[in-house]
Amino acid sequence: MNITLIGMPASGKSTTGLFLAKKLGYHFIDSDILIQEREHMKLQDILNEVGPDEFNLIEEDVNASIRCINTVIAPGGSVVYGPRAMKNLRELGVVVHLELSCETIIERLGDFTKRGISLEPGETIKDIYDRRMPLYDKYAHVTINTDGLTLDEACDKIIETVMGMEVQEEQEE
């Protein structure tokens, strides 16, 4: 089984994902790294060169092509703009939305202009937060609010929730 962590930039997908993979003995994929490897440049450079719309198509293509087992996947926050990518990630396993308040996201991000965040000119973090939250809810099998949780607590909550889902599915069969 795979676990994909979706959420806003700075929600902890990569950090939590790596720690979660270690706890579970799983592999780990950060799809932002796959994008950088494929395009031979950093995310922000890709965004600067092709713009957010083309970047989102690249991100969708990369995430739609992931094939793995027993892996924690941490895609970029804008992956939810790509229906093919989200279909693939949902078919690969459980999609978990790591939810944080907008205030916490803004606090964690600091200067977001160098983070490789897909946003339109003039858009704020609050704008993309409001636009993406319904998409995270749409695609996630489960949402876990991690505000105020330590990394270890967040991982334990994910494991408990995901394993609880597996047990429930087995009982229904």
Per-residue pLDDT tens over the stretch 140-154: 999 999 999 999 999
- Please tell me the distance from the alpha carbon of residue 113 to that of residue 118, in angstroms, as a whole number: 10
Sheet holding 142-145, edge to edge: 27-30, 71-74, 2-6, 93-99, 142-145
pLDDT > 70? residue 112 = no
- Please tell me the distance from the alpha carbon of residue 152 to that of residue 80, in angstroms, as a whole number: 26
Question: Is 69 in a helix, a strand, or coil?
Answer: coil
- pLDDT given for residue 119 in this prediction: 74
Confidence band (pLDDT; 50, 70, 90) for 163? confident
Read off the tokens for 13: 């997908």
pLDDT digits (tens, 9 = 90+) for 84-100: 999 999 999 999 999 99
pLDDT > 60? residue 36 = yes
Q: Where are the domains of the chain?
A: 2-172
How many other CB atoms are there within 10 angstroms of residue 54's CB atom?
13
Could you please state the CATH topology (level 3) that the domain comprising 2-172 is classified under.
Rossmann fold (3.40.50)
- Tell me the pTM: 0.91
Q: What is the mean pLDDT of residues 20-37?
A: 97
- Please tell me the distance from the alpha carbon of residue 168 to that of residue 71, in angstroms, as a whole number: 21
Read off the tokens for 144: 């876990």
- Please tell me the distance from the alpha carbon of residue 62 to that of residue 31, in angstroms, as a whole number: 7
